Amino acid sequence: MGRRTIAYLTEHPIIAFLLIFLVSFAIRFMLLIHYRHDIVNVGEAPRIAFALISKGQYADPYAIPTGPTAHTTPFFPMLLAGIYKVFGTGFRGQFVRCLIVILGYSLFYALYPTFASAFGFPRQVGLFTGFIVALLPVKRSFEVFRGWDEPWAAMMLALVLLLTLKHSNSPRRNLGSAIWLGVCWGATLYFSFSTFSAMVGMLFVDLWNNRSFRVLRDVGITFIAAVAVISPWVLRNHRQLHGWVMRSNFALELRISNNDHVYPSAELNTTMPGVEDLHPSSNLPEAMLVREMGEINYGHREMHIALAWISSHPREFAWLSIQRFFYFWLGPPQHLFEITVTSIYTLLGLAGLGFIRKQLGSLQFRMWCTVLIIYPSLYYFFQAVPRYRVPIDWMIWLSAGLFVCVVVDRFAGEKAAMAVQAG
């Protein structure tokens, strides 16, 4: 990308947004058309959407009707329910579902320059990384057919982290901003409950770095506001499932990820021989157990089985967790394109953390480190799925882009200085 082009796109952010969006959408739309036989494959979220429009219940995510559920947070199934209500649940409805997935990713990538400017990065970092991610569908089918709420959760996380940065930078914190921050964190949890760890981490770091009564008050108010926002959903789950949960599938995912003959990734667990598929989404006897026991009691059973296996197989569990760590950060080794691109920008992103501290400030540096350390930690215990990393991928890409831009500028400066000396 030439300097004149960068300068033009920097001065015309709407054109930059549209270009990145159109490039991303066009490439993923072509993949959708080419692999359209995969459009009708659905998972738990579409099944919940079916139940919403057929019987008005947030229910039935598995192979057979199993009753009320909290398997997913409500945003994406409710969005899909609206789509199916208009376009039907056949091929046309599933095609539009895939278009929504592509739309989410394309909008997400087109916002990279905005994210860059908002957090203090040079705008060209956002332009550079935005066009790269638009051109390279690194997450493969998860950016076309198998995606859920990940890009929307990523955009919400970016928004709430920006509000956190502004709140922390404010010379005079006030009660209203603390409440508003909590409301936005609570709204983000409706998109993806996985961001809860990032919220707790950011609040703890804020309190640790600013030990005062005012900060303690702000942290407490923000947390209470977030809990208040998600309380209607939690109360609904308690009323219908008889358990205090935001999501009910933690124990299930822990069990299917840690048992005899299991592999570190979900893809291998569904394609390699000798692995028993224990997920009630495809295992009829397990789905029948969910229906008989209810999701909460079934989750207690799954947790007992999972912890028993982990305690009796500590070495196997440790080895699986190590492998899942590398899957998360470097990508799946069975896919050369994905592991090559993911490894490169991950390593560049980690190298760029030092430049974030020097050029952007300590607050952004602490924010990046906190989220990148805390958010992935839970996923080391679950089978690897490429979409799990999407909500924090923009942070890694921006850090990588900053590293590249700083190195290129320094090299160009040294080259110009040498030319002057030689002249």
pTM for the whole thing?
0.95
Amino acid at 89: T
- Which band of pLDDT confidence, cut at 50, 70 and 90, is reported for residue 10? confident
**Confidence band of 21 (pLDDT split at 50, 70, 90):** very high
Residue that terminates a domain, selected from 89, 114, 147: 147
pLDDT in tens, 32-63: 998 877 787 778 999 999 999 999 999 999 99
Same domain for 115 and 154? Answer: no
Residues 402 and 259 in one domain: yes
Residues 135 and 168 in one domain: no
The CA distances from residue 144 to 42, 212, 225, 299, 384, in Å, are 12, 47, 35, 31, 18
pLDDT in tens, 261-312: 899 999 999 989 888 889 999 999 999 999 999 999 999 999 999 999 999 9
Q: Give the span between the Cα atoms of 308 and 5, in whole angstroms.
A: 59
Q: Are residues 7 and 128 in the same domain?
A: yes
> When comparing pLDDT for 161 and 415, which is higher?
161
CA 361 vs CA 24, 30, 99, 398: distances in Å: 31, 41, 38, 15
Of the residues 97, 125, 147, the one at which a domain ends: 147
- Whether residues 142 and 153 fall in one domain: no
Nearest C-alpha neighbor of 342 from the set 291, 393, 274: 393
Residues 124-162 have pLDDT tens digits of: 999 999 999 999 999 989 999 888 999 999 999 999 999
On whether both 11 and 117 belong to a single domain, the answer is yes
Same-domain check for residues 300 and 239: no
What is each CA distance from 260 to 203, 255, 334, in whole angstroms? 38, 10, 21
348 and 286 in one domain?
A: yes
User: Does residue 288 sit in the same domain as residue 169?
Assistant: no
List Cα–Cα distances, 367 to 4, 113, 118, 158, 328, in angstroms.
Answer: 33, 19, 14, 11, 20
202, 227, 245: which is the final residue of a domain?
Answer: 245
From the list 153, 223, 230, 228, the residue with the least C-alpha distance to 195 is 153
The domain total for the chain is: 3
Q: Structural domain of residue 120, as residue ranges?
A: 1-147
Residue 20 has pLDDT above 60, yes or no: yes
Distances (CA, A) of 64 to 44, 47, 58, 155, 300: 11, 10, 14, 33, 20
Comparing 5-9, 52-56, 148-152, 183-187, the range with the smallest average pLDDT is 5-9
Are 287 and 160 members of one domain? no
Do 227 and 262 reside in the same domain of the chain?
Answer: no
Residues 165 and 200 in one domain: yes
